[in-house]
């Protein structure tokens, strides 16, 4: 599995670093009721995972800004804006080859129709028959009947296919026989804008079924925090924070299944690949509030150590759209899915620790680590209702499509956990 991620992660420096960076800076910021204090830039590494749905890790980059907006009992009051953006891509692929058992590939539902395949090999040669019939969603009907035979002799192999279209779909059949090698295979497909079923039977040396999945994730987090620092003693300061937050979590899943039928011999006419593509898009947004605190202490004159924690709650809304697309010999049929919606409440939490160095002139350099938790993050679950019923009667293999639903989808929730480290540099205005 290959992971490629572009991450923009905000890990904003504690306001204590601003207030304790230099006495001169604190004196200047207290002269006015509003003053921009500084901006933060950070780089690092982050890992995100949502149970078995996806795992994302990669570089991080952060940006933020803070301003002094007043004071409370002679303590400076700060307003911090910070933001998070994560974009990731996760790819996986798999290849399998046809065996001697029938195999089926289906979309969420079955179109109305039938597929009947027959293969046999004996001393006289290799036989294959296919009959495919569909009555599509507009009541348009087509039928394909095709047969092939290869005697048990050199250079007698046969490879052939047929495609017939209807108003909203079509039927496809392909045969491959090789009497010299003793191999025979048959394939049939029916499809329209309600569903797709593919059936393969026999053995022709191994058709390749290649599948791939690409997951694209985008995560954003914006918060506006009000904070102030309460000195505990000469070394330690307690800084509470509170403010609104906005988050979004978007995920797009693209999957492709390609059936590459082996024509059976080198000079055979090419049989078109059969491709079933599926796309699921999920968009969710969160509005809520977060409350946290940081404890910062001087371990040396120019070194600070801090630990922090925060928790929040947010209301989310999620929507998902999906479709499937069948491609055979440049013929494309789109199978739309049902739009899904969901809403709920998600809890958030974060634990962080950092080591900060205040350089001469007031510049702040920090190395921090964190673990972030978010409950009830939506994802699209696929539930299998039934499998296509394959009937085997001697040398004949059949499927009857009645419009039955094989799979359904629903929005459910799982926790999302992030962790990482970051190198941060704070620049004062």
Q: Is residue 98 part of a domain?
A: no
User: Is the confidence at residue 104, as pLDDT, over 60?
Assistant: yes
Tally of helices (H runs) and strands (E runs) in the chain: 2, 23
pLDDT in tens, 315-371: 999 999 999 999 998 889 999 988 999 999 999 999 999 999 987 766 789 999 999
Number of domains in the chain: 1
Q: Exposed/middle/buried for 65, CB within 10 Å: 0-12, 13-18, 19+? A: middle
Q: Is residue 421 part of a domain?
A: yes
- Which long-range contacts link 322-325 to residues 24+ away (Cβ below 8 Å)? 322/278, 322/279, 322/280, 322/281, 322/380, 322/409, 323/278, 323/279, 324/107, 324/108, 324/196, 324/276, 324/277, 324/278, 324/279, 325/275, 325/276, 325/277, 325/278, 325/279
Q: Is residue 111 part of a domain?
A: no
pTM across the whole model: 0.82
Q: Is residue 140 part of a domain?
A: no
pLDDT exceeding 90 applies to what percent of the chain?
49
| pLDDT category of residue 245 using cuts at 50, 70 and 90 | very high
Q: Is residue 121 part of a domain?
A: no
**DSSP string over 288-307:** EEEEEEEEEEEEETTEEEEE
Q: Is residue 179 part of a domain?
A: no
Domain ranges, residue 28: 2-93+212-428
User: Is the confidence at residue 268, as pLDDT, over 90?
Assistant: no
User: Is the confidence at residue 90, as pLDDT, over 90?
Assistant: no
Answer yes or no: are the C-beta atoms of 9 and 62 closer than 8 Å. Answer: yes
CA distance 25 to 252: 47
Q: Is residue 195 part of a domain?
A: no
What pLDDT was estimated at residue 146? Answer: 95
Answer yes or no: are the C-beta atoms of 93 and 211 closer than 8 Å. Answer: yes
What pLDDT was estimated at residue 206? Answer: 66
Q: Is residue 387 part of a domain?
A: yes
């Amino acid at each position: 599995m290959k992971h490629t991620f572009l991450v923009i992660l905000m890990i904003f420096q504690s306001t204590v670093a601003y207030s304790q960076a230099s006495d001169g800076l604190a004196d200047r910021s207290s002269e006015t009721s509003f003053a921009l204090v500084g901006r933060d830039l950070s780089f690092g590494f982050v890992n995100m995972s949502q149970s078995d749905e996806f795992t994302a890790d990669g570089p991080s980059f952060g940006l933020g800004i803070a301003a002094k907006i007043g004071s409370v009992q002679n303590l400076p009051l700060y307003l911090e804006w910070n933001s998070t953006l994560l974009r990731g891509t996760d790819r996986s692929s798999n290849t399998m080859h046809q065996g001697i058992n029938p195999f089926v590939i289906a979309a969420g539902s079955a179109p109305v129709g039938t597929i009947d395949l027959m293969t046999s090999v004996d001393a006289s040669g290799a036989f294959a028959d296919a009959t495919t019939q569909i009555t599509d969603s507009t009541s348009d009907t087509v039928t394909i009947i095709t047969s092939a035979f290869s005697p048990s002799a050199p250079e007698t192999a046969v490879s052939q296919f047929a495609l017939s279209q209807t108003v909203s779909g079509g039927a496809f059949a392909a045969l491959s026989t090789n009497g010299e090698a003793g191999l025979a295979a048959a394939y049939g497909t029916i499809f329209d804008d309600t569903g797709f079923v593919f059936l393969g039977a026999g053995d022709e040396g191994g058709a390749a079924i290649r599948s791939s999945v690409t997951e694209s994730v985008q995560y954003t987090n914006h918060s506006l925090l009000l904070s102030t620092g309460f000195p505990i003693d000469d070394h330690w300061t307690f800084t509470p924070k509170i403010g609104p937050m906005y988050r979004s979590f978007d995920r797009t899943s693209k999957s492709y299944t390609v059936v590459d039928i082996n024509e059976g011999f080198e000079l055979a006419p090419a049989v078109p690949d059969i491709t079933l593509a599926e796309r699921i898009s999920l968009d969710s947004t969160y509005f809520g509030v977060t409350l946290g605190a940081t404890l910062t202490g001087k371990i040396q004159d120019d070194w600070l150590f801090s630990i922090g924690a925060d928790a929040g709650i947010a209301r989310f809304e999620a929507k998902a759209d999906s479709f499937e697309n069948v491609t055979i010999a440049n013929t494309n049929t789109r199978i739309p899915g049902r739009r899904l919606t969901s809403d709920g409440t998600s809890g958030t939490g974060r634990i962080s620790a950092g080591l900060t160095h205040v350089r001469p002139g007031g510049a702040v350099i920090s190395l921090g680590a964190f673990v972030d938790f978010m409950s009830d993050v939506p994802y699209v679950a696929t539930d299998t209702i039934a499998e296509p019923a394959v009937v085997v009667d001697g040398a004949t293999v059949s499927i009857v499509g009645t419009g039955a639903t094989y799979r359904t989808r629903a929005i459910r929730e799982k926790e999302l956990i992030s962790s990482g480290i970051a190198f941060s540099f704070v620049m004062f205005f």
